[in-house]
Structure formats: C-alpha cells, structure tokens
Amino acid sequence: MLNSKKRALVAMSGGVDSSVAAALLAREGYDVIGVTMRLFNAPFEGAGKLSKSCCSLEDVEDARATCRIIGAKHYYMNFEKEFQQHVIDYFVGEYRQGRTPHPCLACNDRLKFSFLMDRAKLMDADIVATGHYAQIATEEDGRRSLRRGADVMKDQSYVLYNLRQDQLKRLAFPVGGYTKDEIREIARNEGLPVADKPDSQDICFIPTGTYREFVEERLDEPKSGVVVDVEGNVLAEHDGIHNFTIGQRKGLPMMGGTKGPIYVTSINSKSGKVTVGSVQELLRDEVYASAVNWIDEAPPVNAEITAKIRYSSPEEPASIEMLGAEVGKIRFSKPMRACTPGQAIVFYDGDRVLGGGFIELESPLSDVSTATDLAVAA
C-alpha cells in the first residue's frame, strides 16, 4: 500500500482517462489534487464549437465533479500564455516552414511535463499523473523506462518519447496498465459522470473547421509558389505551402497532364516550390532525426530497434547512426512511405521506448531549426 501522506497532482482534462487516473490514485491513498489547465481562449464566435472538444467549461465542470466524488481538491490554472508560445506559435511556425507539426508533442513536452511539474513542486506534490496510456517501469539499475500501454489500440507512448529520467521518477500513468473498456468500467463503478463521455478527436484548439484556416489567420504572408513534377515541370500555382503536407493527395490544385494518383513528395520553404509525384517517389529507405532524446540518456548499443514514423503506423526494423549529440541517421529495413518533416520518429526495443526525434529529409547538421527551437529561444 502506498504511503497515504503522499500527494499527487493529476492533470485533468475532464475526460474519462484522467478522471480515472485521479480516482485510482485516491483509492491507493494519495492526497489527490486535480488541475485543469486553461490553454486556449476561443474567440466568441468559436466558443460553442470549442465546447465540443477539450479546453471547454464543460470539461472543467466534469473534472471538478470527479474531484468532488473522490474527495480531491480541484484547481483551474491559466496556462494560456505558455500554450500560445510553446504550442500555437510552434504549430503555425512549422506550417510556415512547410513542415507538419504534432501539437500534442509540444504540449506534453513544454506544458504537462515542464510547467505543470514546476507547479507541482510549489504545491508539495510527490508525483504528477496524467491519463496517458503508457507505463513506467523501474529497471535493476534504478533507472526508469517508458513502456507501451497495455491497450495496444490506445497506446500513447509515441507522444511521450521526449521524457527524461528526472521526469519519469516523478511521473505516474495510472491507466496505462488497463484497457479502455476497463477504464470506463472503473469510472462507472466509481460513479464518475464521465464514464461514457466520448473521446476528443480533434486538435483541442481547432475542434471544427480546418487547420489551414487557423494557420492562415496567423500568417503575416503565406508562402505562395508553384507545384512541379519530379522533372521540375510547372503544373500549377498555389496560395501557400501551409496547405500541403508530405503524402497529401486530396486538395491539390487542378493539374493537367498527370497520369495516375499523385502525391506531395517534397516542400521547399525557401522557394515555395511543392513537388508532386507517384507513390514510388514517397518511399524512403533512410531519413534523419533532429533534437533526438534518449530516455536512458545514451544511444542504445546492439539493441533490436524498431522505428515508428507516425502515431498510427506500425514500427519497422531500423538501424541508427548518431551523427552528433542530437542528430541521427536512420536506415529502414524496407522503404517507408511519406516520411514527414516535423513529425516524430520514435525508437522502440520491444515494448520499451528508447527515444526519438523530429523527422528530417536532409541532414540537420546543415541548417535546420524547427519552430520548436524558435519557440524555446523566444
């Protein structure tokens, strides 16, 4: 039994996963403090739409109701400034550079596991917990390892690769050892009002509409240019590189003279040139990774490694050659489709997350600075 005097700060979104995380810790004897982060202030005309996603007043009330039921305190903390700088500015900045961002990675890295952990210290909390489907194990040498969640379909270890040892020692993922169905059943047994609440499916600050509209409103001047084929022939003009992502097929400008399905294969942020080609041009047997983080603080040696290039894709066997402290070259055992700059490439050894970085199609040692770097430097 855990020490009843220990205190846990739980990041509560108002959904069933974080609510059950809080309930499980309360059941184990922790003094639970629920914290819901105010992240984004929607304009008046979008407030109703935002209520259908996270960050809404309805979600705050659901988190507060859960805390009342389990006997926990609840706080609503304003992180709008931090969210603007480290998530929204990053999100827009990556599209400005013709890259495809992953806002959940930035939110986890900069807010939940940085600023929120700092708040936890001020509140004398021993641990910080979230509703992520992942697991933390203690190895024989005392180090912590990050493992996949028990529910394969809900596993969120991909978006947690940037965690460090000092963070893992103060983190808990109470729902990681359960399936989603089991979590909902626990919520029902605990009498929580969110037991059957649907999961949020959208980017929390863009619940309706398209990301393009959101980005365009925040761009001083979209980078327009031309669409060309792999031989350099101009096929069409476009209004901005933020409208494209690697592997995109739908929504391309009208182009004559092309045969068969065509996809975006590369985006040049300096010239505004977007190259399209067949599915064969999307295949790559190697990529680079920037801002690489190793959870064990050092690259693995002689490990059976697999790499995952997007949240929903399976891993594939790969080898890694470190070219610098935070730069790596990854070779796949078979060509991978639509490796997308700005997305994460995450490395696994079985169910253990080794680390990861941002996908780059060219060596980052030349001149690559992601919008994340710019946001951190600001």
Q: What is the distance between the terminal CA atoms of the chain, rounded to a whole angstrom?
A: 45
Residue of 206, 205, 276 whose CA lies nearest to 241: 276
Q: Is 204 a catalytic residue?
A: yes
Please return the burial class of 166, using the count of CB atoms within 10 Å of its CB with bins 0-12, 13-18 and 19+: exposed
Is 107 in the active site? yes
Catalytic residue among 54, 55, 67, 204: 204
Residue 244 in tokens? 């494209």
Q: Give the Cα separation of 143 and 350 in Å (integer).
A: 17
> From the candidates 54, 67, 107, 339, which is the catalytic residue?
107
Cβ atoms of residues 252 and 226 within 8 Å? no
- Which is it for the CA torsion 164, 167, 168, 173, positive or negative? negative
Query: Burial of 177 by CB count in 10 Å (0-12 exposed, 13-18 middle, 19+ buried)?
Result: middle
Give the whole-angstrom CA distance, residue 8 versus residue 34: 8
Residues assigned a catalytic role? 107, 204
